[in-house]
Structure 1
Amino acid sequence: MSKLNAQQLLQLLSLSSTALPIGAYCYSQGVESAIETGLIHDEASCLDYFDEVMHLLLARYELPMLKRMIETHDQAHEFTKWSAQYRASRESRELLAESQQLAFSLNAWIKDVLKIKPSVKKQEGFLPVYAQLCGQLHLKVDDAMTAYAFTVLENQVLAAVKTIPLGQMSGQRILWALNLRLPDIIEQALALEDDHLSSALPRYAMLSMQHETQYSRLFRS
């Protein structure tokens, strides 16, 4: 491995680490509501649910959006267009607030650790801030997409492990199975045309809305 490749790998590991202090572990992104309603209740139902997250949320929308924002990070007009579309796709107050809070925390990390001024405001949401940073660091698009997808899946699986609760080994089996399928998801996302992007996930949005008023919660709304 070249020194440059090693540096990029280390940067991606840092950005996808649960030790990154942006508070992603505080959110369940609908998982807690899915457990409350019985949609998720054991290892098998978890795997089915997160497989749909990969295919319907990541492959069809968030990963293709990440690709486009990384590729246009130095093209203000195009980047703003994709960033605005991403912000508009946050279908609940909770999802928008979560994205903006994570963006705020990542911007704080950029200022404190990298000693540079963030160029994307927190109001745009987490994905634009993350994409802009990946572009500035000259990280490979497919590698950045893989790191982002892993982080999303890991956070949601851990939410299920804590809440159902599942054992740690059960969570690891779920993650391992998802990781084996992830390369195909990345390929699908890379090949998706602009006209085929879709953030229409009404059930996902409804779970988030239900979480806003859920009586008993472990995770932030």
Structure 2
Amino acid sequence: MGDLVRLLQLVQFSDSALPVGAFTFSNGLESAIQEGVVHDAGSLKAFVLAATRQAATLDGVALLVAHRAAQAEDMGLIVAADHAAHQRKLNEETRTMAVRMGRKLGELGEHIVRTRPLADWMEMVRGRQAPGTFPIGLALVTSGFDIDARHAFAAHQYGVASMILGAALRLMRITFLETQAILFEVNATVEEAYEHIRTDTLDDMKGFAPAADILAAVHLKAHIRMFMN
């Protein structure tokens, strides 16, 4: 396949319209707005930047490790990365989001990208031997059609930002012009984020963002919710 084909395949799997359920989650934004943490375009941009930094050092590392493991057909390391991505999420909401989206992505991938690592992983997910988190699913799918790990990481980071900004349009007074300007700025940080974690191992994974974790916990018990937990 040529580079243009791979580019379009990557665009397809990073599209916000991909049917894996991303539109049903706000990644903590709903509580952030209810609690006054996010209230305008500036505070929204800060929230998205914090979320993408956390995603890079946590799920981003798991994705890169799993992507390399898929190319080596090392199922043990793939499953270890899956468990690491699941266990390092401190609150129930983010764990739920990761596995619901991950399993849907895996099911979709099975119909499009038929590789042994993806099939074996999905068998283990269905057998409850692996949790089935989204970054691992994305690593296996992109590895399956020869997208390199660097571009797979970029697609993951884009997905985190676009999920939150899509939710913002439904939750607060902000225009699509403002959200697209924020996304453009956030996208410009991806190269630095990749260079920061590209050689990290599972032992290096970290996601210290206590305010985000508290907001996700608040959302779990919220009486009024537009987005799922």
Q: TM-score, normalised by structure 2?
A: 0.87
Task: Check conservation: 1:110, 1:118, Cα contact below 8 A.
Answer: no
Q: Indicate the residue corresponding to 1:9 in structure 2.
A: 7
Q: Indicate the residue corresponding to 1:64 in structure 2.
A: 61
Stretches of structure 1 that go unaligned for 5 or more consecutive residues are none
Q: Indicate the residue corresponding to 1:89 in structure 2.
A: 88
Q: Indicate the residue corresponding to 2:220 in structure 1.
A: 212
* Cα distance, 1:181–1:107 mapped onto 2, change above 3 Å: closer
* Cα distance, 1:100–1:197 mapped onto 2, change above 3 Å: closer
Task: Check conservation: 1:24, 1:155, Cα contact below 8 A.
Answer: yes
Q: Indicate the residue corresponding to 2:161 in structure 1.
A: 153
Counterparts of 2:107 and 2:75 in 1: how far apart (Å)? 22
Stretches of structure 2 that go unaligned for 5 or more consecutive residues are none
Q: What is the aligned counterpart of 1:171 among 168, 173, 179?
A: 179
Counterparts of 2:34 and 2:48 in 1: how far apart (Å)? 16
User: Could you give the per-residue CA deviations for residues 110-134 of structure 1, whole angstroms, max 9, x where no partner exists?
Assistant: 2344467733226322221221222
Amino acid of the structure 2 residue aligned with 1:28:
S
Amino acid of the structure 2 residue aligned with 1:129:
G
Counterparts of 1:105 and 1:193 in 2: how far apart (Å)? 26
Q: What pairs up with 1:68-79 in 2 under 5 angstroms?
A: 68-73=65-70, 74-79=73-78
Counterparts of 1:8 and 1:19 in 2: how far apart (Å)? 18
Task: Check conservation: 2:62, 2:202, Cα contact below 8 A.
Answer: no
Q: Indicate the residue corresponding to 2:47 in structure 1.
A: 49
Amino acid of the structure 1 residue aligned with 2:102:
A
* Cα distance, 1:111–1:68 mapped onto 2, change above 3 Å: closer
* Cα distance, 1:89–1:193 mapped onto 2, change above 3 Å: closer
Q: Indicate the residue corresponding to 1:26 in structure 2.
A: 24
Q: TM-score, normalised by structure 1?
A: 0.90
Amino acid of the structure 2 residue aligned with 1:58:
A
CA RMSD of aligned residues (A): 1.9
Q: Indicate the residue corresponding to 1:36 in structure 2.
A: 34
Counterparts of 2:143 and 2:82 in 1: how far apart (Å)? 14
- Superposed displacement of residue 146, structure 1: 0.6
Amino acid of the structure 1 residue aligned with 2:55:
L
Q: What pairs up with 1:96-135 in 2 under 5 angstroms?
A: 96-114=95-113, 118-120=119-121, 121=125, 123-135=131-143
